[in-house]
Amino acid sequence: MSASVTVRVPAKVNVQLAVGAARPDGFHDLANVFLAVGLYDEVTATPADTLRITADGRGADQIPLDRTNLAARAAELLAARHGIAPGVHLHLAKDIPVAGGMAGGSADAAGALLACGTLWSTGASREELLDICAELGSDVPFSLVGGAALGQGRGELLTPLTVGGTFHWVFAVADGGLSTPAVYREFDRLTQGTDVHAPEASAAVLTALESGDATALAGALTNDLQPAALSLRPSLTATLDAGTEAGALAALVSGSGPTTAFLVKDPEAAQRVAAALTASGTCGAVRTAVSPAVGATVL
């Protein structure tokens, strides 16, 4: 039996997040344009007597190491489907901001699934893995495939998108995470009594991605969850302003937040905006990254 399998998985930013009204099942229909960015977690699966999780790296002390961790649930679901005992030690090397709106937990779940599938030689097809991903969470299928994709339904129904160039980003990590369900609840509260439209993919976003045009993408970025995230965390406005004043092409909350994302022209602009954000004292760690990035990959 091979000693261990390590899988690298990227973070994501939403370049469009159009949110519809709450559905009877509590989820919201989305038009969610995911773009994978080159910040990565690594998941290592090693044979063990029982399922065990350890973690190190950025924010590792904030994640659960029991069976509530989505990576553990991924291993259990795959094992159950294939009649295997989930005897595996999963080690999560964290670099994606925890509870930050960049799909770190989803990345770990997708990584655990691919690592365990490889370790156990389940022979699970891509379709089966995507199916399990969708059962685990709305963002997990995208963590597996990476690149860029339009997510519909609750975000799990993916259509791959073409990206015609490299986009440069700066991410400002906020101190303390935001709970995704809480942000959606706040969205419901803020939109109560208003006419919430059915979400539709933005042609401007798709065209800008395809042409690799950062200025066009900057003009087209939208996030319907941003007012909710700002309502729960008003201090994020100062971070957004600091990045805009420093010359970012656009500033927005990443997914449900509280990480803020700044699209910039080139690597030099990324360094300038990152330095200004750090100096502003309005956020925690500041990271730079490029997109697109490939999905979950066995190293």
Q: Is 154 in the site for ligand C5P (CB under 6 A)?
A: yes
- Contact residue for ligand C5P among 4, 6, 21, 27 (CB under 6 A): 27
Phi, psi at 100, each rounded to 5°: -110, 0
Q: Which tokens belong to 1? A: 């039996």
Query: Which of 89, 79, 83, 5 is CA-nearest to residue 47?
Result: 89
* Angle between helix 70-82 and 104-119 (nearest 10): 30
**Choice between 156 and 214, CB closer to ligand C5P:** 156
Residue 205 Cβ vs ligand C5P, minimum distance, rounded to whole Å: 18
- The DSSP H or E segment spanning 264 is strand 260-264
Query: Which of 296, 257, 8, 298 is CA-nearest to residue 133?
Result: 296
Query: What Rg, from alpha-carbon coordinates, does the chain have?
Result: 19
Q: Is 219 in the site for ligand C5P (CB under 6 A)?
A: no
Strand partners, 6: 44
- Contact residue for ligand C5P among 164, 181, 219, 267 (CB under 6 A): 181
Specify whether the CB–CB gap between 16 and 220 falls below 8 A.
yes
- Which residues ranging from 128 to 147 are in contact with ligand C5P (CB under 6 A)? 137-139
Specify whether the CB–CB gap between 290 and 168 falls below 8 A.
yes
Residue 69 Cβ vs ligand C5P, minimum distance, rounded to whole Å: 13
**Choice between 110 and 119, CB closer to ligand C5P:** 110
Strands 5-22 and 222-223: parallel
Q: Is 120 in the site for ligand C5P (CB under 6 A)?
A: no
Specify whether the CB–CB gap between 293 and 37 falls below 8 A.
yes
Q: Which stretch binds ligand C5P (CB under 6 A): 26-34, 41-49, 61-69, 120-128?
A: 26-34
Query: Active-site positions?
Result: 12, 139
∠ CA 175-219-141, rounded to 5°? 60
**Choice between 143 and 239, CB closer to ligand C5P:** 143
Specify whether the CB–CB gap between 106 and 140 falls below 8 A.
yes
**Choice between 98 and 263, CB closer to ligand C5P:** 98
> Residues for the chain: how many in total?
299
- Contact residue for ligand C5P among 155, 243, 258, 295 (CB under 6 A): 155
- The DSSP H or E segment spanning 218 is helix 214-220
**Choice between 184 and 262, CB closer to ligand C5P:** 184
Residue 187 Cβ vs ligand C5P, minimum distance, rounded to whole Å: 8
The count of chain residues that interact with ligand C5P, using the rule CB under 6 A, is 12
Residue 184 Cβ vs ligand C5P, minimum distance, rounded to whole Å: 4
Q: Is 157 helix (H, G, I), strand (E, B) or coil?
A: strand
- Contact residue for ligand C5P among 8, 12, 28, 94 (CB under 6 A): 28
Q: Is 104 helix (H, G, I), strand (E, B) or coil?
A: helix
- Which residues ranging from 182 to 211 are in contact with ligand C5P (CB under 6 A)? 184
Q: Which stretch binds ligand C5P (CB under 6 A): 72-80, 84-92, 114-122, 176-184?
A: 176-184
Residue 120 Cβ vs ligand C5P, minimum distance, rounded to whole Å: 25
Q: Which residues bind ligand C5P (CB under 6 A)?
A: 26-28, 30, 137-139, 154-155, 180-181, 184
